[in-house]
Amino acid sequence: MNPDYAVPKLSALADRWWLVVARGAAAIAFGIFAILAPRISLLALVILWGSYALIDGALNLVAAPLRARDGRRWGWLLFEGLASIAAGLLTFAWPGITAVVVLTVIAIRAVLGGIAEIAVAVRLRDQITDEWRLASAGILSVVFGVLLFAFPRAGAMGLMWMVGSYALLFGLLLVGLGLRLNSWRPAV
């Protein structure tokens, strides 16, 4: 195996910095809305979260072929994108589901996405010095998912605060990583 293909090139990651920022911005927008409107109905939560999951998954699916075209590993991005889109589609397929089922879908997506983000951060550790941001986002996702599994009967208000806080912190970490990647772009 050629060692040049084992880890993504920093310049190629820096060229795609905007995808990371876009994912972070979508998470921040979702988080702010969830925190500012804690009495939102379950149906609105389903629609809002399902939309976020679809957008996040689509952005990952856009990034995966770009990485593949550059001869870099793209499997974890594809996996996370497909998991996110599947979670979003399942959410829209059953809009009348109970809070426990919505919580389970969100928790599964958070754990699977977090595992994928940690795996990417581990691969990047030799290329960049601030991979901790992506690893932290992944750890935050896994912890959030585990907490949702541990407390499935949380009230709607508590759920909205948990989901909103998670999305806000996750988004801030991704925006920080994306901006840092942008600063590593070669001067033109």
Residue 69 has pLDDT above 80, yes or no: yes
Confidence of residue 8 (pLDDT cuts 50, 70, 90): low
Q: At which residue do the structure tokens 């629609």 appear?
A: 47
14-44 pLDDT, tens digit per residue, is 788 899 899 999 999 988 988 887 666 556 7
Listed residue (174, 167, 107) closest to 142, CA to CA: 107
131-170 pLDDT, tens digit per residue, is 788 889 999 999 988 988 887 766 556 777 888 898 999 9
Residue 1: per-residue pLDDT: 45
| Side-chain half-sphere exposure of 69, counting CA atoms within 13 A | 9
Please state, in angstroms and as integers, the Cα–Cα distance from residue 13 to each residue in 39, 54, 64, 108, 167, following that order.
Answer: 39, 23, 12, 27, 23
The alpha carbon torsion through 75, 81, 87, 88 (nearest 10 deg) reads -160
Helices and strands per DSSP (H, E), number in the chain: 7, 0
Residue 104: per-residue pLDDT: 80
